[in-house]
Amino acid sequence: MIRQRIGSTFALVVLLFAFVGFGYKLANDPGSLFSQLLFFAITAGIIFLLFKFLTRNSVNSSTNSQYRKSVAQSKKMYAKNNPSPRRTDFKKKPVKTTKTAASSKVRPLRDRSKAPHLTVIEGKKGKKKKRAF
């Protein structure tokens, strides 16, 4: 608790000095203040771009490659088993509606034998779950 008070007090003092210094520099020499801020912005931008470029290649390539591989495999399997439906398959016959037909609509049956093809990307594949007896 005491450390938290000391840390917040120290941060408050540092921010106060920064505000006073910024105001002093703005009042006495605004040209050099602008050049310092511009230099800071350019330096921060270069560091950000370098960091973004270096982390993009190392992190995304390993994680996304497994995902892309799995998606391609799933699409390939799904395309072989289920050809894409044709436009004529979606045409419906006109249905006459009456008061009794409107109240008891019959849903079309779906073919539940075609399960989705899922691929496990990462995880504990061989480990059995602990079950309560």
Give residue-wise pLDDT tens across range 42-81: 999 999 999 988 887 655 556 677 888 888 888 888 776 5
Is 123 among the domain residues?
no
Is 103 among the domain residues?
no
Task: With cut-offs at 50, 70 and 90, classify the pLDDT of residue 116.
Answer: confident
Surface-to-core class of residue 103, CB atoms within 10 Å of its CB (0-12 exposed, 13-18 middle, 19+ buried): exposed
Task: With cut-offs at 50, 70 and 90, classify the pLDDT of residue 83.
Answer: low
CA dihedral 8, 9, 14, 20 (to 10 degrees): 120
Residue 65 CB neighbours (<10 A): 10
Is 111 among the domain residues?
no
The enclosing H or E element of 18 equals helix 2-28
Is 10 among the domain residues?
yes
User: Domain count of the chain?
Assistant: 1
Is 112 among the domain residues?
no
Is 129 among the domain residues?
no
Range of the structural domain that residue 36 is part of: 2-83
